[in-house]
Chains A and B, each alone.
Chain A
Amino acid sequence: MSESSGPLPLRVATVTDDADRAALERIARDELGALDDLYERYKTMAYSIAYRITNDATLAEDVVQEAFLGVWRNASRYVEGRGSVKTWLLSIVHHRAIDAVRRRRATVDLPERDDAPPPAMRLPDVWGEVSSNLDADEVRAALASLSDVQREALELAYFGGLTQTEIAERTGTPLGTVKSRMRLGLLAMREMLSP
Protein backbone atom coordinates (compact mmCIF):
# COMPACT_ATOMS: atom_id res chain seq x y z
CA MET A 1 0.00 0.00 0.00
CA SER A 2 1.45 3.30 -1.03
CA GLU A 3 0.80 6.32 1.06
CA SER A 4 -0.82 9.31 -0.54
CA SER A 5 1.41 12.19 -1.32
CA GLY A 6 -0.23 15.00 0.59
CA PRO A 7 -2.66 15.85 3.31
CA LEU A 8 -6.36 15.84 2.68
CA PRO A 9 -7.56 19.25 1.60
CA LEU A 10 -8.99 21.36 4.35
CA ARG A 11 -12.72 21.69 4.24
CA VAL A 12 -14.25 24.95 3.20
CA ALA A 13 -17.07 26.36 5.23
CA THR A 14 -20.47 25.50 3.82
CA VAL A 15 -23.89 27.03 4.24
CA THR A 16 -24.75 24.11 6.52
CA ASP A 17 -21.67 24.79 8.64
CA ASP A 18 -22.75 28.40 9.09
CA ALA A 19 -26.28 27.37 9.99
CA ASP A 20 -24.98 24.81 12.47
CA ARG A 21 -22.70 27.32 14.08
CA ALA A 22 -25.50 29.85 14.30
CA ALA A 23 -27.67 27.21 15.94
CA LEU A 24 -24.94 26.45 18.44
CA GLU A 25 -24.58 30.14 19.29
CA ARG A 26 -28.31 30.27 19.94
CA ILE A 27 -28.11 27.15 22.07
CA ALA A 28 -25.37 28.83 24.09
CA ARG A 29 -27.91 31.60 24.67
CA ASP A 30 -30.40 29.02 25.99
CA GLU A 31 -32.70 29.11 22.95
CA LEU A 32 -34.61 25.85 22.94
CA GLY A 33 -35.71 26.32 19.35
CA ALA A 34 -32.09 26.12 18.24
CA LEU A 35 -31.71 22.73 19.89
CA ASP A 36 -34.82 21.65 18.04
CA ASP A 37 -33.32 22.88 14.76
CA LEU A 38 -30.09 21.01 15.32
CA TYR A 39 -31.97 17.87 16.30
CA GLU A 40 -34.12 17.97 13.18
CA ARG A 41 -31.00 18.38 11.05
CA TYR A 42 -29.03 15.50 12.51
CA LYS A 43 -31.49 13.18 14.24
CA THR A 44 -31.33 10.56 11.49
CA MET A 45 -27.56 10.52 11.29
CA ALA A 46 -27.17 10.51 15.06
CA TYR A 47 -29.69 7.75 15.61
CA SER A 48 -28.28 5.66 12.77
CA ILE A 49 -24.77 5.82 14.20
CA ALA A 50 -26.01 5.04 17.70
CA TYR A 51 -28.03 2.09 16.45
CA ARG A 52 -25.18 0.82 14.27
CA ILE A 53 -22.95 0.69 17.34
CA THR A 54 -25.41 -0.47 20.00
CA ASN A 55 -27.71 -2.62 17.84
CA ASP A 56 -30.37 -1.79 20.42
CA ALA A 57 -33.17 0.68 19.73
CA THR A 58 -33.69 1.69 23.36
CA LEU A 59 -29.99 2.11 24.00
CA ALA A 60 -29.63 4.08 20.78
CA GLU A 61 -32.39 6.45 21.88
CA ASP A 62 -30.68 6.95 25.20
CA VAL A 63 -27.38 7.68 23.48
CA VAL A 64 -28.92 10.25 21.15
CA GLN A 65 -30.77 11.88 24.03
CA GLU A 66 -27.59 12.11 26.10
CA ALA A 67 -25.65 13.50 23.15
CA PHE A 68 -28.11 16.28 22.33
CA LEU A 69 -28.54 17.17 25.99
CA GLY A 70 -24.75 17.23 26.23
CA VAL A 71 -24.68 19.73 23.38
CA TRP A 72 -27.46 21.70 25.07
CA ARG A 73 -25.46 21.95 28.28
CA ASN A 74 -22.01 22.38 26.75
CA ALA A 75 -22.50 24.40 23.57
CA SER A 76 -19.93 26.93 24.73
CA ARG A 77 -17.26 24.23 24.87
CA TYR A 78 -17.36 23.75 21.15
CA VAL A 79 -14.09 25.01 19.77
CA GLU A 80 -14.12 26.44 16.30
CA GLY A 81 -11.36 25.08 14.12
CA ARG A 82 -11.45 21.56 15.53
CA GLY A 83 -14.09 20.31 13.20
CA SER A 84 -17.58 21.24 12.14
CA VAL A 85 -20.51 21.28 14.52
CA LYS A 86 -21.79 18.22 12.71
CA THR A 87 -18.56 16.33 13.32
CA TRP A 88 -18.51 17.46 16.94
CA LEU A 89 -22.06 16.33 17.52
CA LEU A 90 -21.67 13.00 15.77
CA SER A 91 -18.41 12.41 17.60
CA ILE A 92 -20.28 12.84 20.89
CA VAL A 93 -22.90 10.36 19.68
CA HIS A 94 -20.19 7.91 18.69
CA HIS A 95 -18.31 8.17 21.97
CA ARG A 96 -21.44 7.78 24.06
CA ALA A 97 -22.55 4.79 22.02
CA ILE A 98 -19.16 3.16 22.43
CA ASP A 99 -19.33 3.85 26.16
CA ALA A 100 -22.76 2.23 26.26
CA VAL A 101 -21.68 -0.97 24.54
CA ARG A 102 -18.51 -1.18 26.60
CA ARG A 103 -20.51 -0.83 29.79
CA ARG A 104 -22.89 -3.48 28.52
CA ARG A 105 -19.95 -5.80 27.92
CA ALA A 106 -18.38 -4.73 31.21
CA THR A 107 -14.97 -5.74 29.93
CA VAL A 108 -13.47 -2.29 30.04
CA ASP A 109 -13.15 -0.18 33.13
CA LEU A 110 -14.63 3.12 32.04
CA PRO A 111 -14.62 6.41 33.88
CA GLU A 112 -17.96 8.11 34.35
CA ARG A 113 -18.48 10.78 31.74
CA ASP A 114 -19.95 14.14 32.46
CA ASP A 115 -21.64 16.21 29.83
CA ALA A 116 -18.35 17.42 28.47
CA PRO A 117 -17.38 16.74 24.89
CA PRO A 118 -15.48 13.49 24.38
CA PRO A 119 -11.75 13.67 25.04
CA ALA A 120 -10.80 13.32 21.41
CA MET A 121 -12.48 16.64 20.70
CA ARG A 122 -10.30 18.38 23.25
CA LEU A 123 -7.10 17.27 21.61
CA PRO A 124 -4.71 19.97 20.52
CA ASP A 125 -4.75 18.67 17.00
CA VAL A 126 -6.53 19.66 13.86
CA TRP A 127 -8.56 16.81 12.52
CA GLY A 128 -9.32 17.23 8.89
CA GLU A 129 -12.65 16.05 7.64
CA VAL A 130 -13.85 14.48 4.49
CA SER A 131 -17.28 13.38 5.56
CA SER A 132 -19.14 16.49 4.45
CA ASN A 133 -17.96 16.12 0.90
CA LEU A 134 -18.74 12.46 0.50
CA ASP A 135 -21.80 10.43 -0.11
CA ALA A 136 -22.56 7.07 1.39
CA ASP A 137 -21.94 5.13 -1.81
CA GLU A 138 -18.40 6.46 -2.10
CA VAL A 139 -17.56 5.51 1.45
CA ARG A 140 -19.19 2.10 1.17
CA ALA A 141 -17.24 1.47 -2.02
CA ALA A 142 -14.03 2.45 -0.28
CA LEU A 143 -14.81 0.15 2.61
CA ALA A 144 -15.70 -2.67 0.26
CA SER A 145 -12.39 -2.34 -1.51
CA LEU A 146 -10.45 -3.09 1.66
CA SER A 147 -9.33 -6.60 2.43
CA ASP A 148 -11.72 -8.51 4.65
CA VAL A 149 -9.33 -8.46 7.59
CA GLN A 150 -8.69 -4.71 7.26
CA ARG A 151 -12.42 -3.98 7.12
CA GLU A 152 -13.06 -6.29 10.04
CA ALA A 153 -10.41 -4.55 12.14
CA LEU A 154 -11.82 -1.08 11.38
CA GLU A 155 -15.40 -2.13 12.08
CA LEU A 156 -14.59 -3.95 15.30
CA ALA A 157 -12.71 -0.88 16.50
CA TYR A 158 -14.96 1.93 15.33
CA PHE A 159 -18.41 0.37 15.49
CA GLY A 160 -17.74 -2.50 17.87
CA GLY A 161 -15.99 -0.46 20.51
CA LEU A 162 -13.24 -3.05 20.92
CA THR A 163 -9.74 -2.05 21.89
CA GLN A 164 -6.83 -3.21 19.77
CA THR A 165 -6.03 -5.84 22.39
CA GLU A 166 -9.60 -7.12 22.37
CA ILE A 167 -9.59 -7.28 18.59
CA ALA A 168 -6.39 -9.30 18.70
CA GLU A 169 -7.93 -11.70 21.20
CA ARG A 170 -11.22 -12.04 19.36
CA THR A 171 -9.66 -12.63 15.96
CA GLY A 172 -6.72 -14.67 17.23
CA THR A 173 -4.36 -12.28 15.56
CA PRO A 174 -1.08 -10.86 16.89
CA LEU A 175 -1.49 -7.33 18.25
CA GLY A 176 1.05 -5.93 15.83
CA THR A 177 -0.93 -7.35 12.91
CA VAL A 178 -4.13 -5.75 14.19
CA LYS A 179 -2.43 -2.36 14.42
CA SER A 180 -1.06 -2.79 10.92
CA ARG A 181 -4.47 -3.73 9.49
CA MET A 182 -6.13 -0.69 11.01
CA ARG A 183 -3.41 1.66 9.81
CA LEU A 184 -3.30 0.27 6.28
CA GLY A 185 -7.09 0.21 6.12
CA LEU A 186 -7.36 3.86 7.06
CA LEU A 187 -4.60 4.86 4.65
CA ALA A 188 -6.28 2.95 1.82
CA MET A 189 -9.59 4.67 2.49
CA ARG A 190 -7.84 8.01 2.67
CA GLU A 191 -6.28 7.47 -0.71
CA MET A 192 -9.56 6.37 -2.27
CA LEU A 193 -11.58 9.21 -0.79
CA SER A 194 -9.12 11.99 -1.55
CA PRO A 195 -10.03 14.02 -4.63
Chain B
Amino acid sequence: MTDPRRPDGQPGGLTCDEVRDLAASFVLGALSEPEMDAVRDHLADCTELHEEFTELGAVVPALDVAVPLMEPPSALRDRIMAVAAADLDARRQADARVIEPVTTLPESVTTEPEPAGAPAPASEPIPIETARRRRPLTWVAGIAAVLAIVLLGAWNLSLQGQLNAAQTYQQQVASVLDAASQPGALTAVLSAPSGQGPNGIAAVTSDGQMRIAMRDLAPTAGDEVYEAWMILPNTAPAPVGGFTVGSNGSGFIEAGGVPAEPGLVLALTREPRPGMTAPSGDPVSVGTTTSTANSTG
Protein backbone atom coordinates (compact mmCIF):
# COMPACT_ATOMS: atom_id res chain seq x y z
CA MET B 1 0.00 0.00 0.00
CA THR B 2 1.29 3.45 -0.86
CA ASP B 3 1.83 5.88 1.95
CA PRO B 4 -0.25 8.93 0.94
CA ARG B 5 2.10 11.24 2.75
CA ARG B 6 4.99 10.25 0.57
CA PRO B 7 5.61 10.78 -3.12
CA ASP B 8 5.01 7.64 -5.10
CA GLY B 9 8.06 5.88 -6.38
CA GLN B 10 10.59 8.02 -4.51
CA PRO B 11 13.33 6.19 -2.63
CA GLY B 12 12.62 6.47 1.06
CA GLY B 13 9.44 8.36 0.24
CA LEU B 14 11.44 11.54 -0.27
CA THR B 15 12.33 13.49 -3.39
CA CYS B 16 15.97 14.26 -4.10
CA ASP B 17 15.34 17.92 -3.33
CA GLU B 18 13.83 17.02 0.04
CA VAL B 19 16.83 14.84 0.85
CA ARG B 20 19.24 17.60 -0.12
CA ASP B 21 17.33 19.93 2.17
CA LEU B 22 17.86 17.51 5.06
CA ALA B 23 21.53 16.77 4.37
CA ALA B 24 23.08 19.09 6.96
CA SER B 25 20.67 18.01 9.67
CA PHE B 26 21.28 14.39 8.76
CA VAL B 27 25.06 14.48 9.01
CA LEU B 28 24.76 16.31 12.34
CA GLY B 29 22.25 13.76 13.63
CA ALA B 30 19.62 16.47 14.05
CA LEU B 31 16.68 14.55 12.63
CA SER B 32 14.09 12.37 14.29
CA GLU B 33 14.55 8.63 13.89
CA PRO B 34 11.80 8.33 11.22
CA GLU B 35 13.40 11.17 9.28
CA MET B 36 16.84 9.58 9.60
CA ASP B 37 15.41 6.27 8.36
CA ALA B 38 13.72 7.94 5.39
CA VAL B 39 16.95 9.65 4.34
CA ARG B 40 18.91 6.41 4.75
CA ASP B 41 16.38 4.56 2.62
CA HIS B 42 16.58 7.24 -0.06
CA LEU B 43 20.39 7.18 -0.12
CA ALA B 44 20.41 3.41 -0.32
CA ASP B 45 18.13 3.31 -3.35
CA CYS B 46 18.63 6.61 -5.16
CA THR B 47 20.56 6.65 -8.43
CA GLU B 48 21.95 10.12 -7.71
CA LEU B 49 25.23 10.33 -5.84
CA HIS B 50 24.07 13.01 -3.39
CA GLU B 51 27.60 14.27 -2.92
CA GLU B 52 26.33 16.94 -0.54
CA PHE B 53 26.29 14.29 2.16
CA THR B 54 29.96 13.57 1.66
CA GLU B 55 30.82 17.25 1.47
CA LEU B 56 28.96 18.18 4.63
CA GLY B 57 29.63 14.93 6.49
CA ALA B 58 33.37 15.27 6.01
CA VAL B 59 33.40 18.24 8.36
CA VAL B 60 31.50 16.58 11.19
CA PRO B 61 34.35 14.52 12.73
CA ALA B 62 36.38 17.72 12.93
CA LEU B 63 33.91 19.10 15.45
CA ASP B 64 35.17 16.51 17.92
CA VAL B 65 38.67 17.94 17.67
CA ALA B 66 37.51 21.22 19.18
CA VAL B 67 36.29 19.56 22.37
CA PRO B 68 38.25 20.52 25.53
CA LEU B 69 40.22 17.46 26.61
CA MET B 70 39.48 15.76 29.93
CA GLU B 71 41.07 12.66 31.43
CA PRO B 72 38.68 9.91 32.51
CA PRO B 73 39.07 8.43 36.00
CA SER B 74 41.49 5.51 36.08
CA ALA B 75 38.79 3.23 37.51
CA LEU B 76 36.91 3.44 34.24
CA ARG B 77 39.58 1.46 32.44
CA ASP B 78 39.48 -1.22 35.14
CA ARG B 79 35.73 -1.47 34.92
CA ILE B 80 35.71 -1.80 31.14
CA MET B 81 38.40 -4.46 31.18
CA ALA B 82 36.70 -6.40 33.97
CA VAL B 83 33.39 -6.50 32.11
CA ALA B 84 35.11 -7.43 28.85
CA ALA B 85 36.98 -10.24 30.63
CA ALA B 86 33.78 -11.54 32.19
CA ASP B 87 32.07 -11.27 28.83
CA LEU B 88 34.83 -13.27 27.18
CA ASP B 89 34.84 -15.88 29.91
CA ALA B 90 31.09 -16.35 29.60
CA ARG B 91 31.31 -16.64 25.82
CA ARG B 92 34.07 -19.20 25.97
CA GLN B 93 32.29 -21.25 28.58
CA ALA B 94 29.06 -21.14 26.63
CA ASP B 95 30.84 -22.09 23.39
CA ALA B 96 32.69 -24.95 25.02
CA ARG B 97 29.53 -26.12 26.69
CA VAL B 98 27.55 -26.31 23.46
CA ILE B 99 30.26 -27.44 21.12
CA GLU B 100 31.62 -30.14 23.41
CA PRO B 101 29.09 -32.83 22.44
CA VAL B 102 29.82 -32.25 18.76
CA THR B 103 33.48 -33.04 19.25
CA THR B 104 32.66 -36.41 20.78
CA LEU B 105 30.16 -37.58 18.23
CA PRO B 106 30.29 -41.05 16.75
CA GLU B 107 32.54 -41.24 13.70
CA SER B 108 29.60 -41.45 11.33
CA VAL B 109 28.60 -37.98 12.40
CA THR B 110 31.94 -36.29 12.89
CA THR B 111 33.08 -37.27 9.40
CA GLU B 112 30.23 -35.38 7.78
CA PRO B 113 31.63 -32.73 5.44
CA GLU B 114 31.70 -29.27 6.88
CA PRO B 115 29.23 -26.75 5.53
CA ALA B 116 30.46 -24.43 2.82
CA GLY B 117 32.29 -21.49 4.27
CA ALA B 118 33.42 -23.38 7.31
CA PRO B 119 35.93 -21.50 9.44
CA ALA B 120 39.61 -21.65 8.70
CA PRO B 121 41.92 -23.30 11.21
CA ALA B 122 42.56 -21.06 14.18
CA SER B 123 46.26 -20.88 13.44
CA GLU B 124 45.68 -19.09 10.17
CA PRO B 125 45.30 -15.32 10.01
CA ILE B 126 41.65 -14.44 10.28
CA PRO B 127 40.34 -11.59 8.14
CA ILE B 128 38.65 -9.07 10.36
CA GLU B 129 35.32 -9.42 8.60
CA THR B 130 35.25 -13.16 9.12
CA ALA B 131 36.82 -13.46 12.53
CA ARG B 132 33.57 -13.10 14.43
CA ARG B 133 31.72 -15.24 11.95
CA ARG B 134 33.66 -18.26 13.09
CA ARG B 135 31.43 -18.56 16.10
CA PRO B 136 28.08 -18.53 14.23
CA LEU B 137 29.45 -20.97 11.69
CA THR B 138 30.56 -23.23 14.48
CA TRP B 139 27.09 -23.05 15.85
CA VAL B 140 25.70 -23.93 12.44
CA ALA B 141 27.94 -26.97 12.31
CA GLY B 142 26.85 -27.88 15.80
CA ILE B 143 23.19 -27.56 14.96
CA ALA B 144 23.63 -29.69 11.85
CA ALA B 145 25.32 -32.34 13.92
CA VAL B 146 22.58 -32.19 16.49
CA LEU B 147 20.00 -32.83 13.80
CA ALA B 148 21.99 -35.81 12.60
CA ILE B 149 21.99 -37.24 16.09
CA VAL B 150 18.25 -36.82 16.35
CA LEU B 151 17.86 -38.80 13.14
CA LEU B 152 20.13 -41.49 14.46
CA GLY B 153 17.94 -41.74 17.49
CA ALA B 154 20.89 -41.64 19.81
CA TRP B 155 22.13 -39.18 22.41
CA ASN B 156 19.09 -37.06 21.81
CA LEU B 157 17.82 -36.65 25.32
CA SER B 158 21.14 -36.03 26.96
CA LEU B 159 22.29 -33.64 24.26
CA GLN B 160 19.03 -31.72 24.33
CA GLY B 161 19.36 -31.52 28.07
CA GLN B 162 22.86 -30.12 27.75
CA LEU B 163 21.71 -27.58 25.20
CA ASN B 164 18.91 -26.46 27.47
CA ALA B 165 21.31 -26.25 30.37
CA ALA B 166 23.70 -24.16 28.29
CA GLN B 167 20.90 -21.83 27.24
CA THR B 168 19.73 -21.46 30.83
CA TYR B 169 23.26 -20.74 31.99
CA GLN B 170 23.77 -18.21 29.19
CA GLN B 171 20.67 -16.32 30.29
CA GLN B 172 21.86 -16.32 33.87
CA VAL B 173 25.32 -15.16 32.84
CA ALA B 174 23.74 -12.33 30.83
CA SER B 175 21.95 -11.22 33.98
CA VAL B 176 25.21 -11.23 35.90
CA LEU B 177 26.94 -9.26 33.14
CA ASP B 178 24.20 -6.66 33.28
CA ALA B 179 25.05 -6.13 36.92
CA ALA B 180 28.78 -6.21 36.19
CA SER B 181 28.45 -3.43 33.64
CA GLN B 182 27.16 -0.96 36.21
CA PRO B 183 29.54 1.71 37.46
CA GLY B 184 31.47 0.56 40.50
CA ALA B 185 30.48 -3.08 40.13
CA LEU B 186 32.83 -5.88 41.12
CA THR B 187 33.12 -9.27 39.50
CA ALA B 188 34.28 -12.67 40.67
CA VAL B 189 34.92 -15.93 38.88
CA LEU B 190 33.87 -18.88 41.03
CA SER B 191 35.56 -22.21 40.56
CA ALA B 192 35.84 -25.50 42.39
CA PRO B 193 38.80 -25.72 44.79
CA SER B 194 39.89 -28.89 43.04
CA GLY B 195 39.88 -27.16 39.68
CA GLN B 196 37.14 -29.39 38.31
CA GLY B 197 33.55 -29.00 39.31
CA PRO B 198 30.97 -26.28 39.74
CA ASN B 199 31.97 -22.91 38.34
CA GLY B 200 30.38 -19.61 37.46
CA ILE B 201 30.59 -15.86 37.72
CA ALA B 202 29.30 -13.27 40.14
CA ALA B 203 28.81 -9.52 40.16
CA VAL B 204 28.27 -7.17 43.07
CA THR B 205 26.96 -3.71 42.28
CA SER B 206 27.89 -0.59 44.20
CA ASP B 207 24.52 -0.62 45.97
CA GLY B 208 25.12 -4.12 47.33
CA GLN B 209 23.12 -6.19 44.88
CA MET B 210 24.78 -9.50 44.08
CA ARG B 211 24.08 -11.98 41.28
CA ILE B 212 25.73 -15.37 40.88
CA ALA B 213 25.32 -17.71 37.91
CA MET B 214 26.62 -21.25 38.42
CA ARG B 215 26.80 -24.42 36.35
CA ASP B 216 27.90 -28.03 36.75
CA LEU B 217 26.23 -28.25 40.14
CA ALA B 218 24.96 -31.59 41.35
CA PRO B 219 21.15 -31.53 41.61
CA THR B 220 19.74 -30.94 45.06
CA ALA B 221 17.34 -33.44 46.64
CA GLY B 222 14.78 -33.15 49.41
CA ASP B 223 15.44 -30.11 51.56
CA GLU B 224 18.94 -29.63 50.23
CA VAL B 225 20.01 -26.20 49.02
CA TYR B 226 23.13 -24.52 47.78
CA GLU B 227 23.97 -21.65 50.09
CA ALA B 228 26.03 -18.64 49.06
CA TRP B 229 28.32 -17.13 51.67
CA MET B 230 30.20 -13.87 51.80
CA ILE B 231 33.44 -13.80 53.73
CA LEU B 232 35.17 -10.56 54.64
CA PRO B 233 38.72 -10.66 55.97
CA ASN B 234 38.87 -11.91 59.56
CA THR B 235 35.16 -12.51 59.75
CA ALA B 236 33.04 -15.63 59.79
CA PRO B 237 31.10 -16.58 56.63
CA ALA B 238 27.74 -14.84 56.46
CA PRO B 239 24.88 -16.43 54.55
CA VAL B 240 23.64 -14.53 51.52
CA GLY B 241 20.93 -16.81 50.23
CA GLY B 242 20.18 -20.28 48.99
CA PHE B 243 18.81 -21.98 45.90
CA THR B 244 17.98 -25.44 44.66
CA VAL B 245 19.34 -27.03 41.51
CA GLY B 246 17.58 -29.24 39.01
CA SER B 247 18.89 -31.75 36.55
CA ASN B 248 20.39 -29.07 34.28
CA GLY B 249 23.01 -28.31 36.90
CA SER B 250 22.71 -24.54 36.67
CA GLY B 251 21.89 -22.24 39.54
CA PHE B 252 21.26 -18.55 39.98
CA ILE B 253 20.87 -16.33 42.99
CA GLU B 254 20.23 -12.63 43.41
CA ALA B 255 20.55 -11.03 46.83
CA GLY B 256 21.12 -7.65 48.45
CA GLY B 257 23.21 -6.38 51.30
CA VAL B 258 26.54 -7.55 49.95
CA PRO B 259 29.39 -5.06 50.41
CA ALA B 260 30.96 -3.99 47.14
CA GLU B 261 34.50 -4.42 48.39
CA PRO B 262 37.34 -5.88 46.35
CA GLY B 263 38.68 -8.99 48.02
CA LEU B 264 35.33 -10.17 49.28
CA VAL B 265 35.26 -13.96 49.11
CA LEU B 266 32.12 -15.57 47.76
CA ALA B 267 31.68 -19.26 48.49
CA LEU B 268 29.04 -21.83 47.71
CA THR B 269 28.28 -24.84 49.92
CA ARG B 270 25.79 -27.63 49.66
CA GLU B 271 23.63 -27.65 52.76
CA PRO B 272 21.12 -30.21 54.07
CA ARG B 273 18.42 -27.59 54.55
CA PRO B 274 17.78 -23.85 54.11
CA GLY B 275 18.54 -21.34 56.83
CA MET B 276 21.95 -22.59 57.92
CA THR B 277 23.87 -19.90 59.83
CA ALA B 278 27.27 -21.49 59.26
CA PRO B 279 28.61 -23.75 56.52
CA SER B 280 28.29 -27.43 57.34
CA GLY B 281 31.00 -28.50 54.92
CA ASP B 282 33.65 -27.38 52.50
CA PRO B 283 32.74 -25.02 49.66
CA VAL B 284 32.03 -26.52 46.28
CA SER B 285 33.04 -23.31 44.51
CA VAL B 286 34.85 -20.15 45.59
CA GLY B 287 35.74 -16.78 44.06
CA THR B 288 37.06 -13.37 45.08
CA THR B 289 35.61 -10.08 43.95
CA THR B 290 37.78 -7.72 42.00
CA SER B 291 37.40 -4.43 40.23
CA THR B 292 40.82 -4.43 38.70
CA ALA B 293 42.31 -5.87 35.55
CA ASN B 294 43.39 -8.89 37.58
CA SER B 295 40.54 -10.75 36.02
CA THR B 296 41.49 -9.79 32.52
CA GLY B 297 44.12 -12.46 32.17
Contacts and interface: CB of A to CB of B under 8 A. Distances in A.
Contacts of A49: 64, 67
B1 interface: no
A164 B30 contact: yes
A131 B79 contact: no
Contact of B65 (A36, A135, A159): A135
Nearest to B23: A183
Contacts of B70: 44, 47-48, 51
A157 B61 contact: no
Nearest to A53: B67
A69 B62 contact: no
A165 B33 CA distance: 13
Interface string A112-139: 0000000110011111111100111011
A186 B56 contact: yes
Contacts of B25: 157, 163-164, 179, 182
Given A124-B43, A125-B54, A157 B81 contact: no
Interface stretch (B128-136, B153-161, B257-265): B128-136
Interface string B228-251: 000000000000000000000000
B128 A78 contact: yes
A66 to B, nearest CB: 8
B30 A90 contact: no
Given A32-B81, A135-B65, A109 B33 contact: yes
Chain B, interface size category, equals 35 or more
A125 B59 contact: no
Interface string B126-164: 101111110000000000000000000000000000000
Nearest to B31: A163
A119 B37 CA distance: 9
A183 B66 contact: no
Q: Is the interface of A mostly helix, strand, loop or mixed?
A: helix
B61 A87 contact: yes
B146 to A, nearest CB: 25
Contact of A98 (B29, B58, B65): B29
A162 B30 CA distance: 6
Residue among A28, A128, A142, A162 with the highest chain B CB neighbour number at 10 A: A28
B55 A179 contact: no
Contacts of B133: 76
A72 B84 CA distance: 7
B121 to A, nearest CB: 13
A167 B24 CA distance: 13
A19 interface: no
A148 B22 CA distance: 21
Contacts of A30: 88, 91
Top 10 closest A-B pairs, CB basis?
A: A76-B132, A128-B58, A28-B131, A47-B72, A157-B30, A183-B24, A131-B61, A182-B24, A157-B28, A139-B66
Given A7-B58, A179-B21, 6 more contacts: A21-B128, A36-B81, A49-B64, A76-B129, A108-B32, A187-B55
Interface of B: 21-25, 27-33, 36, 40, 43-44, 50-51, 53-73, 76-77, 79-81, 83-85, 87-88, 91, 126, 128-133, 181, 183, 293, 296-297
